[in-house]
Amino acid sequence: MYVCPLYFRNTNQMKRPPTVTVVILLIASITFAKKTCGDESSPSRPNILFIVSDDHGWGDLPSNWDKTEVQLPTLEALASKGVRFPNYHTVPLCGPSRACIFTGQFSTENGMWRGPGQQSLGSPGYRGIKRDVKMLSEHLSEAGYQTGAFGKWHMGEHDGEVPNDRGFDEFRGFLKGAHPYWITEARSKFMHNREPDRTSKGHATELFTGWAEKFIRENAAKDDPFFCYLAYNAVHGPLRVDKSKPASAPEAWVNKALDRGVSFLRSDYVAILEHMDHNIGRLIDLLDELNVAENTLIVFVSDNGGCTMEENAAGGRFPGNNGPLTGGKATTYQGGLNVPLLMNWKGRLPAGMVSGDQVMHCDIFATLLDAARIPVPQMNGKNPVRGMSLMSHMLSAGKETIPERTMIFELWGNIGLRKGDHKLWSQIGREHSPNWAALVAELRQTDLALFDLGKDVAEKTDLRTELPDVYTSLKTELIDHLSNINTEYPGGGSLKVLNKENSKPPKTTTTPTTKRRSQEQFFKSRDRDGDGAITLDEFIGNPEGRNVPALTKRFKNMDSNGDGKLHLDELNEQTK
């Protein structure tokens, strides 16, 4: 196995500063910001072109992993002429990842602890970003930026949550987490600002790019800069992995992939990525045409790790590539957390810089505010801003290193905590529950895994017993964080109060009889073909937005005879 040494090394070979506390990190964040924001020699505020791909794994950026067959000349050119961060981390799910980027906070703090839902749970901010949390787009809009969002939103669809309520002058795209690539009037869920768009037709990637082009043309010559947020649904499903179904990419791009030997299983996936790269190239050419490339900061990032066919990834449905990393989307293994990040500012950022420093989603918030000469706030709502500006690090060509800090990633009770090369990991799988007190109680009783990513990037060797002091320190830090989140959960009351009053999961008054009745109802609802057994696919149902690894694990635990099916008697065993 080939492992790029940049993955775990500081490529600038600078001595890392000692570990610092969260308070010092917050101070450092502001210091980083002031160095650039207050620098009168810096140019005028840049335009910002912020591009997000969807479910794009670490291994499918060629400069990260040279074994991929994906060809992305536009992104590779941006990397070779800008800065690449192979050690960038995020939350392993679409909505929470975007929310962290736009708020500068951990998903445990900003409200988007999982994907947005149809209904709020308890106080506003458990299936969407809290209303008292100001988003990146709002900061930029208030500072005079012309703001446009195009493509996938997935950060809320209620009043007060949609793009036009969150700082964007213009929005064209869809609000939910997934959408077909081929757009027709009958299947479109696109919006233009607050109204349904029933007239747009064509391929989603090309439509999003065209709308972004139009926005840039209309705003490039204005006195105020623009912020163009372009969130592709590439390479999120639906993708063709069955020959009986149509491709999501244009056939010409699929054929290009097949003609050079890409397998059928990967062909639609590869074609979608390469088609996206081509469309990004249209925008780079446009910036040159309009003579604004030297005053435009370009950021490209994937929202989370790729869906792969391996068992531990999200459903094992799509052939993504996370290189040497274990796991993928919806897991807190590195394959779910570690994704591509590129930054490019022609004439300002060093060309060809590869930073091995550990950075994360929250840093994009701080970096873009800093570049726009907007002070990075200490707090956002009731919780601290965790992000640090990367501008000084990049402008110094890495001489100013990013201080070591703790990065915490939580999804459905699946934990990833990284500090330096050490990572704490657990897959508890508390299904979609925002009851942090119950999660903390379970964590206290759970043996987590400890990995040394500097030596074990694939996370195969648990060092918990070999490094007891490191393990205890990190676990204590994790529990302290989860025990002191300044937020509420359904039923009212802050987590701090709940943890003091009740460190155990709430008791239930459900009787075995009512449990069995509930199991029978569940069985009937899942046994869709009426054959008297539930398959794994029937048990999971629609996998979109669900914790597929945890559900798969639960299914296997309940399948007592190991025949790959659940019968009613096996379900009833759970009530005894």
Structure tokens at 428: 């508890």
**pLDDT attached to residue 500:** 34
Cβ partners under 8 Å of residue 519, min gap 6 = 568, 571, 572, 574, 575
Among 325, 309, 327, smallest CA distance to 317 is for 309
CA distance 564 to 554: 12
| CA angle 102–363–417, rounded 5-degree value | 100
Instruction: Give the Cβ contact number of residue 49 at 10 Å.
Output: 25
DSSP class per residue in 405-456? -EEEEEETTEEEEEETTEEEEEE---TT---HHHHHHHHHT---EEEETTT-
Find tokens 């570990």 and name the residue.
Answer: 19
Find tokens 């930073």 and name the residue.
Answer: 355
Instruction: Give the Cβ contact number of residue 486 at 10 Å.
Output: 13
CA distance 352 to 265: 33
**pLDDT attached to residue 567:** 83
3-state helix, strand, coil in the chain (%, to 5): 35, 15, 50
CB 106 within 8 A of CB 384: no
CA distance 88 to 79: 14
**pLDDT attached to residue 511:** 40
Q: Is 415 exposed, middle or buried (0-12, 13-18, 19+ CB in 10 A)?
A: buried
pLDDT digits (tens, 9 = 90+) for 514-544: 344 446 666 776 776 777 888 888 887 766 5
According to DSSP, the residues that pair with 226 across neighbouring strands are 146
CA distance 202 to 187: 12
What class is the 512-573 domain?
mainly alpha
DSSP class per residue in 143-165? TT-EEEEEEE--S--STTTSGGG
**pLDDT attached to residue 374:** 98
Boundaries of every domain in the chain: 5-407, 412-501, 512-573
**pLDDT attached to residue 413:** 80
**pLDDT attached to residue 527:** 73
CA distance 417 to 33: 25
**pLDDT attached to residue 309:** 77
Cβ partners under 8 Å of residue 301, min gap 6 = 51, 52, 53, 88, 90, 101, 339, 340, 341, 342, 364
CATH number given to 412-501: 3.30.1120
pLDDT digits (tens, 9 = 90+) for 188-212: 999 999 999 999 999 999 999 999 9
CATH number given to 5-407: 3.40.720.10
Structure tokens at 280: 């990004």
DSSP state at residue 36: H
The span from the first CA to the last CA of the chain, in angstroms, equals 47
What are the pLDDT tens digits along the chain (576 aa)? 223 333 333 333 333 333 333 333 333 344 444 344 434 345 589 999 999 999 999 999 999 999 999 999 999 999 999 999 999 999 999 999 999 999 999 998 998 888 886 554 444 335 689 889 999 999 999 999 999 999 999 999 888 899 999 999 999 999 999 999 999 988 899 999 999 999 999 999 999 999 999 999 999 999 999 999 999 999 999 999 888 889 999 999 999 999 999 999 999 999 999 999 999 999 999 999 999 999 999 999 999 999 987 654 454 568 999 999 999 999 999 999 999 999 999 999 999 999 999 999 999 999 999 999 999 999 999 999 999 999 999 999 999 999 999 999 998 788 999 999 999 999 875 544 556 777 788 889 899 999 999 999 999 999 999 999 999 999 999 999 988 876 554 333 333 333 333 333 333 334 444 344 446 666 776 776 777 888 888 887 766 555 666 677 777 878 877 888 888 877 766 544
**pLDDT attached to residue 434:** 58
CA dihedral (424, 429, 433, 435) positive or negative: negative
**pLDDT attached to residue 117:** 67
CA dihedral (164, 286, 179, 184) positive or negative: positive
Q: Is 222 exposed, middle or buried (0-12, 13-18, 19+ CB in 10 A)?
A: exposed
